[in-house]
Amino acid sequence: WIVDDVLFQARLHPARRCGELTTPEVTRLHAAIGHVLRTAVSAEARYRDFPTHFLIHARAWEETPAGASSTHCPHHPAELIQKHYVGGRATYWCARCQPAPAGWMPEGVA
């Protein structure tokens, strides 16, 4: 979940390759790593205590505070959170906040 939230906070699609990031994107990624980790430590990793703008609430945790609304982007309430596999790992993102790289297709979709 940490990777999903870091990329969400940095507004980067999970299929983006590190070597292709621009300098401003690397700066956002670096800031997001610190922000997500500091938040996790301060909440003692209790998911229900994470801010509502975190993507972790889109996962199916028993204590998700937002209920069904957690399946939507916290910044764009009409946008459903996407779940696909990237590199063999389930990942969550907002297609509007984190646009896919050109030509990207989810694994298993032809």
CB distance 106 to 90 below 8 Å: no
Tokens 């982007």 found at: 73
Q: What is the pLDDT of residue 19?
A: 94
CB distance 50 to 62 below 8 Å: no
Q: What is the pLDDT of residue 98?
A: 95
What's the average pLDDT block by block, 10 residues per block, for the chain (110 residues)?
Answer: 94 93 98 96 87 80 53 88 84 92 71
Q: What is the pLDDT of residue 21?
A: 96
Question: pTM higher than 0.85 for the full model?
Answer: no
Please list, in sequence order, all residues whose beta carbon lies within 8 angstroms of the beta carbon of residue 31, skipping any fewer than 6 positions away: 10
Cα(104)–Cα(12) distance, integer angstroms? 14
Q: What is the pLDDT of residue 49?
A: 87
> What domains lie within the chain, and their CATH numbers?
2-94 (1.10.8.50)
Q: What is the pLDDT of residue 36?
A: 95
